[in-house]
């Protein structure tokens, strides 16, 4: 069973134009031991939501009628947090997060909810949930503690040749669709001072591999701001500098 609560403080996005991003409440908020607190502490996905929100803000500054926006939905499957739904909603308002809707679902139905509402990106801190999403053809990413150090004023997306464990056809197609719309979104901004930055990193292979990945992305309308060909070198140092919010496959043919 799924219960939907609209956030009346936020203008609802155009369903035909928006990119639906569903984030688990456990990723956004940390459930503290003190249940007397009015709001939750912030979790690893907090800066991601701020960065998505910043992209929306800049888009609307450029064009108030813009429909290609991120539509952020918070989904809760944790039984304890579901009992504190009012606290989740008040926490969102307290931090000024533009969450359009709240989905309260049991663990058996939440994946069906993602598919039914055509979620284009699912974000979680639970590896099992990410795997389930991928198996159902929903583009899913796993966040870790490093995301907390990512900038909140610029959304940074990294396309990486070896970043995805599941390469099912459905997930591959979902990644293509999302990357295409992401590329369209990036074209809304200029070369400098963009709230969205797209980077390509190839951990293995030489220039030809990197060039092939660039051509694949360009064929889907994605132009990258930076490209790195590591040729087997450790990627940790580069990641510590880039600080991407999440990694995606470059979806080569």
Mark whether 98 and 175 lie in a shared domain.
no
Mark whether 142 and 162 lie in a shared domain.
no
Mark whether 144 and 161 lie in a shared domain.
no
Mark whether 131 and 165 lie in a shared domain.
no
Mark whether 76 and 201 lie in a shared domain.
no
Give residue 243's pLDDT: 92
Domain boundary among the residues 148, 179, 209 is at 148
Whole-number Cα distances in Å, 136 to 74, 99, 108, 139: 19, 24, 13, 9
Give residue 251's pLDDT: 45
With beta carbons less than 8 A apart as the criterion, state whether 199 and 241 touch: no
Give residue 144's pLDDT: 84
Mark whether 143 and 173 lie in a shared domain.
no
Can you spell out the DSSP letters for 52-68? Answer: HHHHHHHHHHH-TT---
Mark whether 124 and 215 lie in a shared domain.
no
Mark whether 134 and 176 lie in a shared domain.
no
Give residue 25's pLDDT: 92
Whole-number Cα distances in Å, 47 to 108, 109, 187: 29, 28, 23
Domain boundary among the residues 126, 148, 170 is at 148
Mark whether 220 and 141 lie in a shared domain.
no
Q: How many CB atoms lie within 10 A of CB 144?
A: 10
Q: Indicate the SS3 state at residue 182.
A: helix
Mark whether 199 and 143 lie in a shared domain.
no
- Count how many domains the chain has: 2
Domain boundary among the residues 148, 166, 185 is at 148
Structural domain of 224: 155-249
Q: Which residues of the chain fall below pLDDT 50? A: 163-166, 251-253
Give residue 166's pLDDT: 45
The model's pTM: 0.89
With beta carbons less than 8 A apart as the criterion, state whether 145 and 44 touch: yes
* CATH number for the domain harbouring residue 18: 3.40.50.1000
- Digit-coded pLDDT (tens) for 102-129: 998 877 788 888 999 999 999 999 999 9
Q: Is 132 left (phi over 0), alpha (psi -120 to 50) or beta?
A: alpha
Mark whether 90 and 27 lie in a shared domain.
yes
Mark whether 104 and 213 lie in a shared domain.
no
- Alpha-helical runs (H) found in the chain: 25-28, 46-62, 79-82, 85-94, 110-116, 127-135, 169-186, 207-219, 236-242
Give residue 168's pLDDT: 60
């Amino acid at each position: 069973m799924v219960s939907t609560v609209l956030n009346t403080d936020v203008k609802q996005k155009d369903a035909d134009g928006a990119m639906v991003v569903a984030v688990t409440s456990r990723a956004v908020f940390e459930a503290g031991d003190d249940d007397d607190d009015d709001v939750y502490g912030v979790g690893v996905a907090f800066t991601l939501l701020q960065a998505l929100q910043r992209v929306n803000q800049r888009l609307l500054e450029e064009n108030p009628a813009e429909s290609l926006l991120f539509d952020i939905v918070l989904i809760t499957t944790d039984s304890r947090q579901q009992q504190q739904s009012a606290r989740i909603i008040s926490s969102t308002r307290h931090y000024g997060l533009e969450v359009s809707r709240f989905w309260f679902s049991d663990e058996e139905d939440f994946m069906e909810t993602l598919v039914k509402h055509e979620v284009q990106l699912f974000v979680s801190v639970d590896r099992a949930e990410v795997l389930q999403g991928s198996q159902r053809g929903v583009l899913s990413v796993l966040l870790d503690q490093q995301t907390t150090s990512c900038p909140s004023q610029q959304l940074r997306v990294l396309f990486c040749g070896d970043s995805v464990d599941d390469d099912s056809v459905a997930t591959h197609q979902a990644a293509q669709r999302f990357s295409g719309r992401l590329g369209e979104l990036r074209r809304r901004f200029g070369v400098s001072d963009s709230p969205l930055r797209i980077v390509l990193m190839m951990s293995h292979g030489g220039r030809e591999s990197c060039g092939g990945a660039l051509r694949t992305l360009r064929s889907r309308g994605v132009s990258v701001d930076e490209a790195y060909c590591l040729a087997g070198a450790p990627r940790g140092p580069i990641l510590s500098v880039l600080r991407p919010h999440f990694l995606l496959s470059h979806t080569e043919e």
